[in-house]
Amino acid sequence: MTGKIIALAALIFFMSILHRGNASRILCVFPSASVSHQVVFRGLTLALRERGHDLVVVTPNPVRDPNLKNYTEIDVSFLYEENYETDYIELRRNARWIDWFWNVTPILHLFGEKTFDHPEFKKIYAPDSGEEFDLMLTETLYWPAFLALGKRFDVPIIGMTSLGLALNLQYSVGNPILTSHQSNWDLAMKEVSDSPTLFERLKNFYDVWKFIYNYNTEFMPAQHAIAKKYLGNEIPELGEIERNLSLIFANQQGPISYLRPNVPNVIEIGNFHVSKKIKPLSKDLQKTLDESKQGFIYMSLGSNVKSTMLDKKSRSEFIAAFSKLPYTVIWKFEDEFLPGKPDNVIIIKWAPQQAILAHPNLKAFVYQGGLQSTEEAISHGVPVIGFPVMADQDMNVNKMVSLGVGKKLEITDVKRDDLIEAIQSVATDGSYKQRMLNLRELLKDRPYDSLKNAVWWTEHVIRHRDVPHLRSSTADEPWYQRGDMDVIFLIATVFVISVMTASAVLYQLLVYSMKIFGNQQSVNRKEKLK
């Protein structure tokens, strides 16, 4: 018996050594000061740590768990202080997302510089640091300056987004640019309809290609200057690095997205942050929800958009609508006091959202359409009423409406009657709930676990030190060749010239014929006079 125990212990020890021998060192850079982004990235980094890899993670939302081994965090939470308080609701009223981007480029550049300036991070990328890595994992949204670190350490790079690919990245990796497709969250969704008119498509075509051009000729050079400032003058052009990313993990699951063609190195991920074990609610909140026998409504505008951003008129419309409901309303409201609060409304400054969504008495979720909140609602089978505000939120809510699991209302024009009707429809019509449950089962019915799949692909890149076989050559093609625009232009030009030439010839023939006809008529008259 003792011999078997010793043999088993030896086997476990041998396997642990073998496991560690396959471990790699990974540098992770996630500069976005948004917890909804960071929880997605954290899902993968912690899973990679569990696999035995050694990670250095630059993040504004560190786990701060001293028990985590092989997991070094560089805390850049000060970026939240640099992140100015933006009234996104007012922004929606006055500007489109694709135009607003240029107003925030200074803060994006500042984020990059502040992160590079962090003393602990400087020690990592210093030329004489002696640090070595096998892979870089980084957020690929609007911080291409960090891609230069891949060249500093001579490692393959995997990009990662907490939402669908932005237009600039679609172009960089060689995806077809579909200027009027519903998957383009960069455009205000009111600009992208299911059946756009010719004028709408012309406008979208202009807006999309103008954005891509300006991004590559204005924003990228500014980011390149930041990279040169901290990493030296020898770094290659950032666009070249971005075109050669090994993989991109895009948090956009097919069944809840507007499907579009992707190049092979775009890997679909999703639900990384959804907890398998829900933490219990506080005793008071648990009691309140348990006693809501007719059910309750939960409202939250997320972490970036806050209910306190609602103007007085919109807030009063929400209050008036909630006061007429037969349900308890749990409202994530970021202030101590809500003037005019009805008795059936309970405000909480911070909400344990997944635990609330898991409660069986919940009838509907009133939200801003964030992707992570959407995934949580689906995971718990809760119908939604969306008030999209920015970025991909219109796209997410539009998709939920198209699937019959929710309704959409406008945050800049809140009307109590519309809100009451939407809540009552979703809460009392069982078909919304059933379709949401069906959607949940559809997301679960896949041949692999999304997180394990992402870990596999990450290790695949490490094992082969890049995956050029997945890279599309369309990434190297100039913009006008992507959709054969030069060919179409040539054909159109030849056609127009041919039509104009033929028209000119016909016109001359007509004029000539008219002259001959006129001369003949004159001759006939003269002969008659004789």
**DSSP per-residue string spanning 48-61:** HHHTT-EEEEEESS
Query: What is the reported pLDDT for 249?
Result: 97
pLDDT score of 189? 57
Q: What integer pLDDT is reported at residue 4 of this predicted model?
A: 52
Banded pLDDT at 275 (limits 50, 70, 90): confident
Query: Kindly report the CA angle at 106 between 178 and 210, in degrees rounded to 5?
Result: 25
Cβ atoms of residues 79 and 47 within 8 Å:
no
Enumerate residues 6+ apart whose C-beta is below 8 A from 476: 174, 243
pLDDT band at 48 (very low <50, low <70, confident <90, very high): very high
In which band, very low, low, confident or very high, does the pLDDT at 11 lie, cut at 50, 70 and 90? Answer: very low
Q: Which of 340-354, 393-407, 506-520 has the lowest mean pLDDT?
A: 506-520
CA–CA separation, 470 and 159 (whole Å):
14
Task: List, as one string, the DSSP characters of 30-42.
Answer: -----HHHHHHHH
Spatial strand order of the sheet with 296-300 comes to: 345-348, 328-332, 296-300, 362-367, 384-386, 406-408
Residue 485 has pLDDT above 90, yes or no: no
Contact of 418 with 409, CB cutoff 8 Å: yes
Rounded mean pLDDT of the chain?
Answer: 90
pLDDT tens, position by position, 414-459 = 999 999 999 999 999 999 999 999 999 999 999 999 999 999 999 9
pLDDT, tens digit (0-9, with 9 covering 90-100), for 143-179: 999 999 999 999 999 999 999 999 999 999 999 999 9
Token pair listed for 149: 């670190």
pLDDT above 70: residue 343: yes
User: In the predicted model, is pLDDT for residue 63 greater than 50?
Assistant: yes
Give residue 12's pLDDT band: very low, low, confident or very high (50, 70, 90). Answer: very low
The model's confidence at residue 91, banded by pLDDT at 50, 70 and 90, is: confident
What sections of 385-478 are H helices per DSSP?
393-402, 416-428, 430-444, 450-464
Beta pairing class for 25-29 and 157-161: unpaired
Check pLDDT > 70 for residue 18.
no
Model confidence at 20, pLDDT cuts 50, 70, 90, reads very low
Coil, helix or strand at residue 519:
helix
Mean pLDDT of 113-133: 95
Which pLDDT value is given to residue 320? Answer: 96
| Contact yes or no for 106/223 (Cβ under 8 A) | no
Crossing angle of helices 35-50/371-379, nearest 10°? Answer: 60
- Any long-range contacts for 96-100 (C-beta under 8 Å, 24+ apart)? 96/187, 96/188, 96/191, 97/185, 97/186, 97/187, 97/188, 97/390, 97/391, 98/186, 98/187, 98/188, 98/207, 98/211
Q: 196-200, 250-254, 339-343 — which is least confidently predicted?
A: 196-200
Average pLDDT over residues 174-201: 83
Asked if residues 164 and 185 have their Cβ atoms less than 8 Å apart, the reply is yes
pLDDT of residue 76: 95
How high is the pLDDT of residue 371?
Answer: 95
Single out the residue of 339, 310, 345 nearest to residue 324, CA to CA. 345
Mind listing the pLDDT tens digit for each residue in 450-484?
999 999 999 999 999 889 899 888 888 888 888 78
Q: How high is the pLDDT of residue 15?
A: 45
